[in-house]
Amino acid sequence: QSALTQPPSASGSPGQSVTISCTGTSSDVGTYDYVAWYQQHPGQAPKLMLYEVNKRPSGVPNRFSGSKSGNTASLTVSGLQAEDEADYYCSSYAGSNNLVVFGGGTKLTVL
Amino acid sequence: EVQLVQSGAEMKKPGESLKISCKASGYSFTVHWIGWVRQMPGKGLEWMGIIYPGDSDTRYSPSFQGQVTISVDKSINTAHLQWSSLKASDSAMYYCVRGYCSGGSCYGRWFEFWGQGTLVTVSS
């Protein structure tokens, strides 16, 4: 299966909102509501930020929200803060024996 | 508290074998799927495969099928990722991840818990 498509970079100023897209196919994002988003700071393990499109694990600020339309999922970060600067990866369940596919990652810069 | 503690960094030569580990604690080991994710230097995340410790049911990404072996040792709550003959291109950070349970069933479709990573360097 092919990786999901994310823009390589995104940016915004503190307090602004930024949206990162994640485009898959009808075999993954388009069929399953098992889209997740992970945040990775340099030198650290990834951290789950959203699961099942728009659900937040305990402790994740409600500034992080998600949505999906067709084959594209989106992560929106509202009220950008300096600590939001990180790499963000989407993933989707792709059926067929628990296959999971990741996006290529988006580097979010807080200007 | 759920913890996934991985074995330390490894430096190997091409052609050598390697087995890295992920020791789980803080939950019932046999109930949750455990997977492995590769991150090559400066690159993104790649899902490698997943195993259900309860019955060792294992699924591999087509990209990694035949290249690695995922296994578990239930007696010590540990998952393993192994190579029989390493290549330089296997140099990467490897993360173990844990799946979740919902509605009485358990899945490996997204991952809340991650190990700290094991850096594997393969160089002659």
Nearest in space to B47 (alpha carbons), one of A70, A80, A103, A72: A103
Tokens of A9: 């970079």
Q: Do A101 and B33 touch (CB under 8 A)?
A: no
B53 min Cα distance to partner chain A (Å): 15
Q: What confidence tens digit (pLDDT) does each residue in A38-85 have?
A: 999 999 999 999 999 999 999 999 999 999 999 999 999 999 999 999
A102 min Cα distance to partner chain B (Å): 6
DSSP string, A11-55: EE-TT--EEEEEE--TTTTTT-S-EEEEEE-TTS--EEEEBTTTB
CB atoms within 10 A of CB A88: 25
- Determine the Cα–Cα distance for residues B33 and A72; give it in Å rounded to an integer: 27
Residue from the list A36, A47, A105 with its beta carbon closest to the beta carbon of B110 = A36
Q: Can you say whether the dihedral through the CA atoms of A91, A53, B79, B69 is positive or negative?
A: negative
Residue from the list B47, B112, B114 with its beta carbon closest to the beta carbon of A101 = B47
State the pLDDT at residue B103.
Answer: 87
The amino acid at B113: F
% of chain B at pLDDT higher than 90:
93
Helix (H), strand (E), coil (C) string for B83-103: ECCCCHHHCEEEEEEECEEEC
Q: Do B59 and A36 touch (CB under 8 A)?
A: no
What mean pLDDT, rounded, does chain A reach?
A: 95
Is the confidence at residue A1, as pLDDT, over 80?
A: no
State the pLDDT at residue A3.
Answer: 87
Q: Which residues, listed in sequence order, are joined to residue B6 by a DSSP beta bridge?
A: B22
| A59: three-class secondary structure by DSSP | coil
B42 near B24, Cβ under 8 Å? no
CB atoms within 10 A of CB B23: 17
Q: What confidence tens digit (pLDDT) does each residue in B18-76 have?
A: 999 999 999 999 999 999 999 999 999 999 999 999 999 999 999 999 999 999 999 99
State the pLDDT at residue A92.
Answer: 97
State the pLDDT at residue B115.
Answer: 98
